[in-house]
Amino acid sequence: MPTYEYECDACGHEFEEFQSMSDELLVKCPKCGKKKLRRLFGTGAAVLFKGSGFYETDYRSDSYKTAAKADEAASKPAATDGKAGASDAPAAPAADKSKKTETKSPKSKD
């Protein structure tokens, strides 16, 4: 049940009343007793969304879910599979192979 705000046009008294949406509007001011109350526009009634598709995770149909999965798979770049990622990484052992290694030949005594 929502909380409604009321204001009296006669005395200016403002107050909040917790009442059902189907209840009649209040017309008599509790402070001065005059029938000059009016309900103010405000946050009184909450909005409740029911149905299909208001949120990405709520109430989606199966056809939407399968289309979304197919769309997601198509939009992923090819570099995300394991094969392409391994070739992009720099190979540290290849740098070691490029270094020259000195080999000493046995000195011959002639």
Q: Which residues contact 20 (CB under 8 A, 6 or more apart)?
A: 1
Distance from C-alpha of 8 to C-alpha of 38, rounded to nearest angstrom:
6
pLDDT in the model for residue 1: 74
Identify the H or E element spanning 45: none
Predicted confidence pLDDT, tens digits, the chain (110 residues): 788 899 999 999 999 888 888 899 999 999 999 999 999 887 555 666 666 655 655 556 778 778 888 888 888 775 555 555 445 555 555 555 555 556 665 665 65
Q: How many CB atoms lie within 10 A of CB 66?
A: 10
Q: What is the pTM of this model?
A: 0.38
User: What top-level class would CATH report for the domain 1-70?
Assistant: mainly beta
Which residues does residue 5 pair with via DSSP β-bridges, in sequence order?
Answer: 16
